Amino acid sequence: MIEQIDSLKGKKYPAKKHCQTVYKHLLTKKSGDKYSFFVSGEADVLYQYSDQARPFRQNRYFFYLTGCDIPGSHVIYDGPSDKLTLYLPDIDYDDVMWSGMPLSIEQALSEYDIDDCKYASELPSVLSGSDHEIHSLDINSTNEQFKTLVKASDKDFFYALDEARLIKDEYELELMRHASKLTDNCHFAVMSALPIENKETHIHAEFMYHALRQGSKYQSYDPICCSGPNCSTLHYVKNDDDLSEKRSVLIDAGCEWSLYASDVTRCFPINGDWSKEHLQIYNIVLKMQQETMAMIKPGTQWEDCHLTAHKVLIEEFLKLGIFKSDYSAEEIFQSKVSGRFFPHGLGHLLGMDTHDVGGYPNYEDKDELLRYLRLRRKLQPGMVLTDEPGVYFSPFLLEDVLNNPEKMKFIDKAVLDKYWYIGGVRIEDDLLVTEDGYENFTKITSDPEEISKIVKAGLAKGVKGFHNVV
């Protein structure tokens, strides 16, 4: 069931419209005009040798077509008759004692934006009685029993689903704005709670506590909570080191709301005072973000934004002296050496998946600056994406540069050595592409002075200012 928020009261998740949009995209790829689709949701799965279920995560394609997160459900959309039918799992009377009564057919019809609702036991006769092709996702344990009745793994069907999910409607955007708002509050809480945080684990706990209190039971992804040199590991999730002695903190975490994601990164100095080098790097990343955000509007090729971020990094590294001024910005850009300091993409699509569908990345790209960019297309109104430049000082990533005279000639090692302790800085906001620019969902400040004030105000409260000390 979708948790209600005020702006969506009385409205249903627009499943029917989603089916129609998918069907429209499918027909652009097919010569015929009579198709259906059949998609199975996830089922409850127990851990091996245990009676405990794995955390339930609904199949995103299924949810997109139904708005339903009941385990063991299926859906059929019949294109020619424009009819959407939800199939609920047959009632397991043994389970009612433990789990209570499941949603009834009548309740499902009033809750979801569907034309009809039946039980799954009717599926074999419905599927075998169809006179046209029925597309499905890949065959797995959820739809294995129907595999002879459907056409699975059709690339045109996946294309249609992904193109539909690419452009968010107003209902989806409200869910995402809400997820972002909760995430803002969590980041603010973490920045304010330094008196009780002396391990990375405490940062993680502080974020999760405020997420759950606000009703977000699931995170969009495992929070990345790191400090000092650990910040150079892009997807650091150990989150168990001491904060003491380290001066920089990076937290990349986002709440989920009704399956829709947010994805936000903020950095701050642990005592509220930016060190000289930390602030220098922070301001470079902020400039990379500001200059690329200013380019966001319909028609912009995302690769251009990504490469602009690299150019800002190079100009600023030349000013700091990390890159030697014997070489031009263009020579350094062509050498690709900036990719060792900013190895990931500038941003990715965001939706039900944190790295959402429709970006068509090319992980085989020969250009190492573009290889990990998860969004390789022009921006369109209704796309939601992250803008998340970063600068890292990773011994692992820089090892082959340090040992390669052709690349090392651009770098002044003595200057570089002053920055290792920071680990890395990333700033990440969630943005909607609008008709004439963008809307930034992320409101938690990224201004270094304001961040410093928030951290210091928290520190001034002292440990006694917090109730949740363990």
List residues binding Mn ion (CB under 5 A): 263, 386
Nearer to Mn ion by C-beta: 196 or 431? Answer: 431
Nearer to Mn ion by C-beta: 154 or 263? Answer: 263
What token pair was written down for 70?
Answer: 């009941």
DSSP 38: E
Nearer to Mn ion by C-beta: 42 or 263? Answer: 263
Residue for token pair 């600056």: 369
Inter-CA distances, 43 with 74, 143, 152, 196, 370, Å: 10, 10, 18, 40, 37
* Nearest-5° Cα angle at 360, 357 to 363: 120
Nearer to Mn ion by C-beta: 143 or 292? Answer: 292
* Nearest-5° Cα angle at 353, 352 to 354: 120
What is the smallest separation between the CB atom of 386 and Mn ion, expressed in angstroms?
4
Alpha carbons 442 and 249: distance in angstroms, whole number: 19
Backbone angles phi, psi at 192, to 5 degrees: -90, -5
What is the smallest separation between the CB atom of 98 and Mn ion, expressed in angstroms?
38
Nearest to 235, CA basis, from 390, 115, 81, 364: 390
What token pair was written down for 140?
Answer: 């797995």
Residue ranges in 238-301 assigned as alpha helix (H): 276-293
Backbone angles phi, psi at 130, to 5 degrees: -75, 145
What is the smallest separation between the CB atom of 168 and Mn ion, expressed in angstroms?
17
Nearer to Mn ion by C-beta: 165 or 344? Answer: 344
What is the smallest separation between the CB atom of 428 and Mn ion, expressed in angstroms?
5
What is the smallest separation between the CB atom of 345 and Mn ion, expressed in angstroms?
9
Nearer to Mn ion by C-beta: 206 or 263? Answer: 263
Alpha carbons 372 and 210: distance in angstroms, whole number: 32
What is the smallest separation between the CB atom of 344 and Mn ion, expressed in angstroms?
9
Nearer to Mn ion by C-beta: 69 or 263? Answer: 263
Backbone angles phi, psi at 145, to 5 degrees: -70, -15
| Sign of the torsion angle spanned by Cα atoms 101, 107, 111, 113 | positive
What is the smallest separation between the CB atom of 394 and Mn ion, expressed in angstroms?
18
Question: Residues 151, 136: contact at Cβ < 8 Å?
Answer: yes
What is the smallest separation between the CB atom of 427 and Mn ion, expressed in angstroms?
11
Nearer to Mn ion by C-beta: 135 or 266? Answer: 266
Alpha carbons 83 and 115: distance in angstroms, whole number: 6
Nearer to Mn ion by C-beta: 174 or 263? Answer: 263
Residue for token pair 């509050």: 185
What is the smallest separation between the CB atom of 266 and Mn ion, expressed in angstroms?
12
Measured from each CB, the residue nearest to Mn ion is 263
DSSP SS3 for 183: helix
